[in-house]
Amino acid sequence: MELDRPGRLLATLSLVPPLAVAGWLLVGLPLLLLGRFTPLPALLLGVPAAALLCWAGTRRPGKVVEATSWQVAGVIAVAVAAGVFNGILHSEQLIVRRDPATYAQYAAWIAGHGSLPIPAQAAAFGGADPALVFESVGFYDVGGSVVPQFMPGPPMLFAIGYWLGVPFAVPPVLGALAVLTLAGVVVRLAGARWAVPAALAFAVSLPILYTSRTTFSEIPSLILLFGGLALAHDALERPGWRHGLLAGLVFGLAVLVRVDGLRDVLPVLAFAGLLIAMRRFGRPQGALGLPMLAGLVAGAGLGMLAAYLLARPYLTYLSSSVRPLLLICAAVVVLIAIGTAAAPALARLRPPAWAPAAGATLVVLLMAGLYARPWFQTVTRDPVNGEDRRTFTMIETIQRANGLPLDGTRLYFEDSLHWVAWYVGLPVLVLATVAAALLLHRLLRDGTPFAWLLPLAMIGWTTVTTLLRPEITPDHPWAARRLVPIVIPGLILLAAYALRELPKRRWVASVAVLLVLVPPAVTSIGTAFTPVERGEAAAVEAMCAKIPPEASVLIVERVTGDRFTQLVRGMCDRPAAKVARPPDSGDVAPEAETRRLIERVRAAGRVPVVLAARPEQVWRYGPATRVMALVTLQDERSLIDPPNGTWSLGIDVWMAVAA
């Protein structure tokens, strides 16, 4: 059945977000590498590139079931409402405490300067000195320059907000586009009838609200991964090299957003190999294999190039995870070559009669085992390095606040499927499990529905690997971000397919929709209407105004240095450095060393300024002035229950202009 007009509109609209994001990133990365990521060239080149990809990707979309005007309007209404709601309740995370503020500072720097790395400006302190520390949380010191920790994809998107004067608007807009993207995949694979309930269930889930309100990388990653699924689906319906190339490219660019994207797109690599093998049998879908593989390699290659050139310390830090992934990719490529060569022989093989039932049973047993995991396993990790020791201390602090027994080795990863149940509800979890079992049974039986092979492989692979090893500090809602790119939208997509298989009775559909929507809404209600870390923008602006224009800022207290070194450098436009503290010497730098550096700053013709958290830490160098007295709210840190509130947060900064 050809696309009707509303269906065509929804199919087209759902492809615009991933294609536009891909076009912007394709232009933004070269400009950033050349030191020319500034508004004029970025807009003059990035907007046409995004428009060109949207035009190429939305021409002759594939077939989907019919959609009514009301269904299309419903999806658009949910997306717009999500964007407006999260925009009103946006977060202002600028003070570097966790990743969102690191991304915000990264975005602010490239928006204002257009290049990397960030100059340390040692000359403003009288030259390099062992007591000067230019790195801070989220920012590495590499050869006298400062390198941000993360991949450049998200900051290149967030920079648009800084250029337009609305720095907190981009995350909610991306969240709205994610709703639209997921709905497009649902309408293709489960039918338009379930697109609006799926969009609603997704939009009200707490991790989606959480990551749509501030500068996280997960939402852009979701847009690219599920946009790639939509493009791949359309390419299978109407095989052509252009659609295959675009699908692979969009998938591959997920690596430019998150290094974890390399793991997420592994099934795409295998799927492209399968298509290449199918070409030997004259199957029309086989023509997509090489273009999809080429697009995937190009996109992922750009991501890895960016990681090597712009985030090498971060890549080194993750090397224990990245190297095995690269080896797996190489192994898959070898298997693709072998499988293509041996395709005629392999085609004669047939799965045994018991394989479909065994596959479906395995899905159910796997999900049951993950759910029962807390009853037979306690995941722990003994500290072996500084990062582990900081995590150990943080977990004990959170346990103390939660009234739990103190054990900093606990990681709580065994509860990961319970986390999912908190945020999407047990009905979605059960429906998704049934759908996955049913689909695998059908695929192993007769290879249909073939359009589900790649989505099922990607959702299954990433869900299982993420739940086994979330690799994140396990407090919530923080840890919930791991579930955003694939796990939550993937389970909602599968649940929508299960709903399609229910009896076609109105009361059954109504009850099913309520079961899907109510549990995530109930979990979210405790925090959905409470913005966190508001007031930071005004507090930062006021602080910057109080620092003398010709200042070189020395930060003598540990926490203040971690939080404000890059902020002062990037947002206040003042050279900033921490004063080194000898091991086990406490949180404040030695006075003699600080005074020596003050004299070096003065000799360089600058105004020496000292920052710390309390007045007694700075008044020995000059009159103490409080330049920040922020009182706001922060996210709750819950370990064994879903978060249902917020904690208070107070941040003070004191300044002394050295006499």
pLDDT tens digits, one per residue of 115-133: 999 999 999 999 999 999 9
* In a domain? residue 527: no
Point out the domain boundary residue: 297, 319, 349. 349
Bridge-partner residues for 410, per DSSP?
380
- Write down the pLDDT at residue 139: 96
Same domain, 650 and 538: yes
pLDDT at 647: 95
Q: What are the helix (H) ranges across 342-414?
A: 343-347, 355-372, 386-402
d(CA 213, CA 534): 11
Contact 243, 290 (CB under 8 A): no
- pLDDT tier for residue 196 given thresholds of 50, 70 and 90: very high
Name, in order, each residue with C-beta under 8 angstroms of 79's C-beta and a sequence gap of 6 or more. 176, 177, 179, 180, 183, 199, 203
pLDDT at 464 over 60: yes
Compute φ and ψ for 532, nearest 5 degrees. -115, 155
Please report whether residue 68 resides in a domain: no
Q: What is the pLDDT of residues 285-301, one digit of tens each?
A: 888 999 999 999 999 99
Q: State the Cα–Cα distance between residues 139 and 132, nearest whole angstrom.
A: 15
CA-to-CA dists, residue 445 to 61, 360, 442, angstroms: 29, 11, 5
Percent of the chain with pLDDT over 90: 83
Please compute the mean of the pLDDT values over residues 214-238 and round it to a whole number: 95
Please give the average per-residue pLDDT across 480-488, as a whole number.
97
pLDDT tens digits, one per residue of 604-643? 999 999 999 999 999 999 999 999 999 999 999 999 999 9
Q: What are the tens digits of pLDDT across the range 14-40?
A: 999 999 999 999 999 999 999 999 999
Q: Are 600 and 126 in contact (CB under 8 A)?
A: yes
Domain with 636 in it: 117-148+532-657
- pLDDT reading at 245 higher than 50: yes
C-alpha distances (whole Å) from 202 to each of 25, 346, 496 are 26, 40, 11
Q: Is residue 137 part of a domain?
A: yes
> How many other C-beta atoms can be found within 10 angstroms of the C-beta atom of residue 122?
17
The pLDDT score that the predictor gives to residue 441 is 96
Q: What is the pLDDT of residues 586-613, one digit of tens each?
A: 899 999 999 999 999 999 999 999 999 9
Q: Are the CB atoms for 517 and 200 separated by under 8 Å?
A: yes
> Does residue 613 belong to any structural domain of this protein?
yes
Residue type, 341: A
Average pLDDT on 161-172 reads 96
246-256 pLDDT, tens digit each: 999 999 999 99
Cα–Cα distance, 78 to 176 (Å, whole number): 8
Q: Considering 289, 320, 349, which residue would you say is the last residue of a domain?
A: 349
Distance CA 656, CA 609 (A): 6
Percentages helix, strand, coil for the chain (3-state, rounded to 5) are 65, 10, 25
pTM over 0.85: yes
Helices (H), 447-588: 453-468, 487-500, 506-524, 536-546, 558-570
Predicted pLDDT of residue 61: 63
Assess whether pLDDT exceeds 80 at residue 399.
Answer: yes
Distance of CA 639 to the CA centre of its chain: 21
Q: For the chain, what is the largest distance between any 2 Cα atoms, rounded to a whole number of angstroms?
A: 86
* Residue position matching structure tokens 């050295």: 658
Name the residue among 83, 82, 128, 65 with its Cα closest to residue 496: 65
Rama region for 655: left / alpha / beta (φ>0; ψ in -120 to 50; rest):
beta
Band (564; pLDDT cuts 50, 70, 90):
very high
**Spatial distance between the Cα atoms of 406 and 630, rounded to a whole number of angstroms:** 30
Instruction: Determine contact, residues 653/560, Cβ cutoff 8 Å.
Output: yes
3-state SS, residue 139: strand
Domain finish residue from 292, 327, 349: 349
Structure tokens at 100: 């969102």
How far is Cα 94 from Cα 232, in angstroms, rounded to an integer? 38
φ, ψ dihedrals at 580, nearest 5°: -60, 145
d(CA 631, CA 646): 13
pLDDT of residue 334: 87
Instruction: Please state, as a whole number, how many other Cβ atoms lie within 10 Å of the Cβ of residue 313.
Output: 15
The answer to whether residue 647 sits within a structural domain is yes
Is residue 385 included in any domain, yes or no? no
Q: Which two tokens stand for residue 338?
A: 């072998």
Q: How many domains does the chain have?
A: 2
Q: Tell me the pLDDT of the chain averaged across its residues.
A: 93
Residue 29 is assigned to a structural domain of this protein: no
* 12 within 8 A of 184, measured Cβ to Cβ: no
Instruction: Give residue 181's identity as a one-letter amino acid code.
Output: T
> What's the first-to-final CA gap in the chain, in angstroms?
80
Please state which of the ranges 243-257, 324-338, 341-355, 589-603 shows the lowest mean pLDDT. Answer: 341-355
Q: Between 287 and 180, name the one with better pLDDT.
A: 180
Decide if 134 is inside a domain: yes
pLDDT band at 231 (very low <50, low <70, confident <90, very high): very high
At residue 62, the pLDDT reads 62
